[in-house]
Amino acid sequence: MSYDYDLFVIGGGSGGIATARRAAEYGAKVAVAEVGQLGGTCVNRGCVPKKLMVYSSRFPDLFEESQAYGWSPVESHFDWKTFMPAVNNEVKRLNGIYQRMLDKSQVEILPHYAKFVDSHTLEVGDRKVTAEKILIAVGGKPVKPDIPGIEHAITSDQIFHLPEQPKQMLIIGAGYIGCEFACVLHGMGTEVTQILRRDTILRGFDDDIRTTIQEGMVKHGINLMTNTVPKEIKKTDQGLEVVVQHEDGDKTILTDVVGLAATGRIPNLENLGLENTKVETHNGAVAVDKYSQTSEPHIYAVGDCTDNINLTPVAISEGRALADSQFGGKSKVMSYENVPSAVFTTPEAATVGLTEAEAQEKYGDAMKVYRTKFRGMYYTLPDKDEKTMMKLIVDTNTDKVVGAHMVGEHAAEIIQGMAVALKAGATKEIFDATVGIHPSSAEEFVTMR
């Protein structure tokens, strides 16, 4: 049978674009359906604009700390209306780069939603197209808690388009998105209250990362309300009244004109027409094998819609491995072992490999932990109580380092190097034999005994 395309990609995010370009390089005829801006969550509503906000939020501390290094006091104020248009202009610039990359690769872009009619046919706008192979790369979407008045709350997707900086912000949720925005907005001068159902933020991360970041956030002035559940949001003339169930009883919190719901993300599979195929889902995500193949042999899925590891570089690697396998004659699979990640809170954190709890479960008594906590040299003159935490986890059966974790300045930059070492199977003996760069915080990773 003849098809319109060799590969049709549903979704113009990181994973979809990476797959499309790589497949086109191998000579495949490729099209991408994307009704929104190219680049997906990362470029438009995630990594890129968020990181720019992180940079901006850290200047007040730098202004203050500079005085201990001989600089005169700086008088400055933050202007949301100057900064946010600059952020959104950078996003538009990146959208254009993605457009040019796809044009150069001769990938056709269809600015419409795509929906399955059958396993080889898609309804795209007002036309129907067929494809030999189809990739689902629709990403995820934020979830709001199901409480009365939740329509008055915004999600993390909408924070970048607020016309005014909130004077007060209530953040519901203690995952990495909620924690990052709590720190960002606090740094910019917003009064931030964050509520979490449990007693510690960042469930799923290593416990030392969780407690060290939480201590830092509280120390910096973020009002963290633990063991607290939102019950209702009411819109009033004064702002939003949020009724919460706290361990001391119900309380009402008044926020500025917005409350941020950051309770997680789910695969964005609505109105995709999967019921017209044999594609199976599991826990709301597209079920795939190690080759990103669904239960329909010619339909594939990568990225957040599979709810595997929801990180941009993972989606890109999955997509490229898929294109190499299906169009390049190279059988490749994505390895999910030792995938590093970061949390851009203040203090910052990064991690690769097993947490202490995971290593304990896997290795038992053969697990050994090396841990250090100290004040970095930078903070000695400002005399600030800012802590850096570093941690290595070792399987003593093989002496391999199976986990590396850090909280502190430049954690992401440092852990990226640690990820290479873990991927290469470095042992603690190799770490110990490596000469440190002095004076630096990073040298602690090769001096822990």
Where would I find the H helices in 277-410?
312-327, 356-363
Sequence-distant (6+) residues with CB within 8 A of 437 are: 443
Element (H, E) at 230: strand 229-236
Sequence-distant (6+) residues with CB within 8 A of 136 are: 10, 11, 272, 279, 286, 294, 299, 300, 301, 302, 305
The C-alpha angle 364, 366, 367, rounded to 5 degrees, equals 75
DSSP assignments along 241-273, one per residue: EEEEEETTEEEEEEESS-EEE-S-EEE--TTS-
User: Would residue 112 show up in a list of annotated catalytic residues for this protein?
Assistant: no
d(CA 445, CA 377): 16
Q: How many residues does the chain have?
A: 449
For 271, phi and psi rounded to 5 degrees?
55, 30
For 308, phi and psi rounded to 5 degrees?
-90, -95
Cis bond upstream, residue 439 (ω within 30): yes
Burial of 93 (C-beta count, 10 Å sphere; 0-12/13-18/19+): exposed
Element (H, E) at 374: strand 367-375
d(CA 341, CA 347): 15
d(CA 372, CA 391): 6
Of the candidates 272, 328, 337, the one whose C-alpha atom is nearest the C-alpha of residue 301 is 272
Burial of 13 (C-beta count, 10 Å sphere; 0-12/13-18/19+): buried
Tokens of 66: 């500079």
Q: What share of the chain is helix, strand, coil (3-state, %, to 5)?
A: 35, 30, 35
Q: Beta 140-142 vs 265-267: how paired, if at all?
A: antiparallel
Query: Whose structure tokens read 């490729």?
Result: 30
CB atoms within 10 A of CB 284: 10
Active-site residue, selected from the candidate residues 186, 246, 405, 438:
438
- Looking at the annotation, which residues are catalytic? 438
